[in-house]
Structure 1
Amino acid sequence: MVNGTFSRSASARLTPRSVGSPRVSAHRKWWVAPGPSFSFLAVIFCLASVLLVVGCVIYLYAFRYPSRGRLVAGFYDESDVCDVFDGSWVPDSSYPLYNGTECPFAERGFNCLANGRQDKNYLKWRWKPRHCDIPKFDVHEILRRLRGKRVVFVGDSMSRTQWESLICMLMTGVQDPKTVYEVNGNKISKTIRFLGVKFQTFNLSVEFFRSVFLVQQGLPPTNGPRRIHMTLKLDKMDEINQRWIDSDVLIFNSGHWWTPSKLFDVGCYFQVGGVLKLGKSISSAFRMALDTWATWVETMVNTNRTHVFFRTFEPSHWSGLNQKACEVTEQPLAVAKANDRRATPTSALGATHLPFLIAATGVFLESPMLGTSLYSLIF
């Protein structure tokens, strides 16, 4: 099982010192060679230190970051190393994993076939890592292992559609669709901050909280410039964060709203501790927001129970001059387009990037999406 450790900027806590560092040199003293008994103790100490280091490495590799190796249950390796991100899309006639037209929780706007798309081959792609196989999604086993659990998605529309996709996938293993319902009777909408679907037979809740920035939005200080209509408080988590804590699986995403058109162009600027930060760049603000998020996870979430994931950034799915038309593609992209790449990659941010996407490999609202199966979460 993957348990994430979250660390803020390493440079803030670790200051490497060379042998010639002033601090090292200041404490260097000459000494006389010790006797035999001292040498014996030194050897014992060195051996114990080596064992401790080796033990730590094994622990980190096997238990903290198993996604990079053979230790994820259900993965079938062809070599000693398995990197699930190193691979390619392969055709698979057994896909898709669900019918988006028949799923009541799939938004019509994301239902390609219902909106007139004629071809279906784009649904039949599966991600294949180069050196291992990802086990096929077994909905009955997944539902059995998720019985009595609470799965929570937090983020923007990408998180919401992934939440919808997971629900549709799980519904293929439910005998009576009426036992699956939105807890407040709401229809799926991008304007609602909370959506929760209950699988009554399995006492399973799969929920979505809309929090596009993860940090708190609010009114600007009264003495601020008139062009500022709202602020992002980079040092404070979204005020609904308490509702995320009591969960078994917690999946975050953010990034798509950290753009000038979503921020500065609408009068939204940054604030820290009651002080406006008008000169702060978006990439710097995003870094600070994720540092706040990482601190929140470290201090508020019991990671012995809750498995926390931060989802990777996705390429744009828009096209056209106004960027409001769907990018209709038939083949997987070999590489991301230049305008799809972030100036600040998630892995370079202060918070540790957790290397799993939550969607099972295959169809994501009728479009393939890189990921791993839910086996990585609950096995």
Structure 2
Amino acid sequence: MGKMLNDFGLFGCAVLVLFLLLLHHEDQHCFAEVPENNKVNESQIGRKCDLFEGSWVYDETYPLYDTSNCPFINTEFDCQKNGRPDNQYLKYRWKPKGCALPRFNGQDLLRRFKGKKILFVGDSLSFNQWQSLRCMLHAAVPNTNYTLSSKGALSTFLLPEYEVSVMFSRDKFLVDLIKTKQGMVLNLDSIGNGNSWKGYDMLIFNTWHWWLHKGRNQPWDYIESGGKILKDMDRLAAFREGLTTWSRWVDSNVDANKTRVFFQGISPVHYNGKEWDDKNSANCRGQTQPVSGSTYPGGSPPAATVVNEVLTKMSYPVTLLDITLLSQLRKDGHPSLYGIDGKKGNDCSHWCLAGVPDTWNELFYAILVTK
């Protein structure tokens, strides 16, 4: 009898050890490297996986790069250099629910896109993501030569060894902002810059941040809609109309066999603590941890619904980089007082680098290597 109990005890211990190993393997699987053959199949990520549902987990291996070693990061995003006293916000990794998210591999991305041109088009949130990707690629190949150049609204980051160009074109609305005798007119029905978006292997668009600006921060004096000149209109309706014009341009001008198109999605702001059930916080100032869990109390912003509705109606298969929820959970990720304006401003719109935009690029990479 004693021998049986002893054998059972040994068996139980073995089962427990195996169970713990499986748990460890599962957690590591969500942190998987891309294999040497550069192939990641559906089973590695999950057949019914939504990369954009999940939660943030603390991870000492983050961030993916040290901003002090990124030679071209802009001051407004370098929160540590600007004196931010905490650094836990750098240590969070996005963990999709039930998914295996491949670890970002900059060398692999550069090999895949050798000889290719990638263009980000949009506002300062697009610039935020472009800056992040430059730092991530530089960290992957720190000894590789690169060139930086700017011409008008176009900025180019070129890695000659890989013949890869990662560019950014500043375009706040995607539709035209035209100077007239009467003032600046936002034309919701025309895209004059479209020709400069042609000929790229990949396009990543965004817009929304500037559509709500009023007063001195509003860059236009009038809106043109359907041939009518208006002093103002419902901003969400204007956004829908402008985005629909952009969608028609993509449908008519982009060949899906030659160019892949992404839309960045809506990057949230954190100017109201009630949105994350914190009545004592007016905004993102002093926030040092993400919202826990996988839901945001404030719900999805109406602009995100507009984006989904417009993309659904398109004939071109645009890939939505649905960053909204995962970014809503990161009330701690903004520059706040540690941006370009220092103590004169409180930036709860843009993001510190290293930080949340790195995750946008991790998800961008995950989509590229799995589909």
Q: TM-score, normalised by structure 1?
A: 0.67
SS in 1 for 2:320: coil
Could you tell me whether the CA contact under 8 Å between 1:290 and 1:351 is conserved in 2?
no
Structure 1 residue corresponding to 2:269, chosen from 293, 316, 324: 316
Matches within 5 A, 1:239-250: 239-250=192-203
Structure 2 residue corresponding to 1:252, chosen from 205, 215, 223: 205
Q: Provide the identity percentage.
A: 34
Larger relative helix fraction:
2
Q: 1:216 to 1:265 in 2, by over 3 A?
A: closer
Q: Residue 235 of structure 1 aligns with which residue?
A: 189
**What are the Cα deviations for residues 248-307 of structure 1, in whole angstroms up to 9, with x where unaligned?**
110000001011417995652211354314463211111111111111111111111111
Structure 2 residue corresponding to 1:354, chosen from 300, 319, 341: 319
SS in 1 for 2:319: coil
Matches within 5 A, 1:166-177: 166-177=133-144
Structure 2 residue corresponding to 1:280, chosen from 227, 233, 251: 233
Give the C-alpha shift of residue 173 in structure 1.
Answer: 2.3
Q: 1:278 to 1:104 in 2, by over 3 A?
A: same
CA distance in 2, matches of 1:275, 1:211: 23
Q: What letter matches 1:329 in structure 2?
A: Q
Give the C-alpha shift of residue 364 in structure 1.
Answer: 6.5
Could you tell me whether the CA contact under 8 Å between 2:187 and 2:224 is conserved in 1?
yes
Q: Residue 103 of structure 2 aligns with which residue?
A: 136
CA distance in 1, matches of 2:132, 2:204: 14
Q: 2:63 aligned with 1:96, yes or no?
A: yes
Structure 2: 5+ residue runs without aligned partners?
1-38, 274-282, 313-317, 328-332, 334-350
CA distance in 2, matches of 1:249, 1:94: 30
Give the C-alpha shift of residue 342 in structure 1.
Answer: 3.7
Matches within 5 A, 1:78-89: 80-89=47-56
Number of residue pairs matched by the alignment: 288
Q: Residue 249 of structure 2 aligns with which residue?
A: 296
Q: 1:373 to 1:299 in 2, by over 3 A?
A: closer
Could you tell me whether the CA contact under 8 Å between 1:85 and 1:129 is conserved in 2?
yes
Q: 1:193 to 1:275 in 2, by over 3 A?
A: same
Could you tell me whether the CA contact under 8 Å between 1:153 and 1:252 is conserved in 2?
yes
Q: 1:264 to 1:94 in 2, by over 3 A?
A: closer
Q: 2:332 aligned with 1:374, yes or no?
A: no
Q: Residue 338 of structure 2 aligns with which residue?
A: none
CA distance in 2, matches of 1:336, 1:263: 31
Q: 2:223 aligned with 1:270, yes or no?
A: yes
Q: Residue 148 of structure 2 aligns with which residue?
A: 182
Q: 1:318 to 1:207 in 2, by over 3 A?
A: farther
Give the C-alpha shift of residue 327 in structure 1.
Answer: 3.9
Q: 2:288 aligned with 1:330, yes or no?
A: yes
Larger of the two Rg values belongs to structure: 1
Q: 1:336 to 1:212 in 2, by over 3 A?
A: farther
SS in 1 for 2:69: coil
**What are the Cα deviations for residues 160-200 of structure 1, in whole angstroms up to 9, with x where unaligned?**
011010011011222435x112134x8xxxxx621111111
SS in 2 for 1:132: coil
CA distance in 2, matches of 1:327, 1:319: 10
SS in 2 for 1:217: strand
Matches within 5 A, 1:124-163: 124-163=91-130
**What are the Cα deviations for residues 191-235 of structure 1, in whole angstroms up to 9, with x where unaligned?**
x62111111111110000000000001135x6xxxxx62211111
Q: 1:132 to 1:146 in 2, by over 3 A?
A: same
Q: What letter matches 1:140 in structure 2?
A: Q
Q: What letter matches 1:165 in structure 2?
A: S
Q: TM-score, normalised by structure 2?
A: 0.69
Matches within 5 A, 1:5-84: 73-74=40-41, 76=43, 80-84=47-51
Give the C-alpha shift of residue 347 in structure 1.
Answer: 3.8
SS in 2 for 1:271: strand
Could you tell me whether the CA contact under 8 Å between 2:55 and 2:94 is conserved in 1?
yes
Q: 1:310 to 1:351 in 2, by over 3 A?
A: same
Could you tell me whether the CA contact under 8 Å between 1:89 and 1:126 is conserved in 2?
yes
CA distance in 2, matches of 1:264, 1:163: 24
Structure 1: 5+ residue runs without aligned partners?
1-71, 187-191, 223-227
Q: What letter matches 2:179 in structure 1?
A: L
Q: Residue 353 of structure 2 aligns with which residue?
A: 365
CA distance in 2, matches of 1:328, 1:133: 32
Q: What letter matches 2:235 in structure 1?
A: I
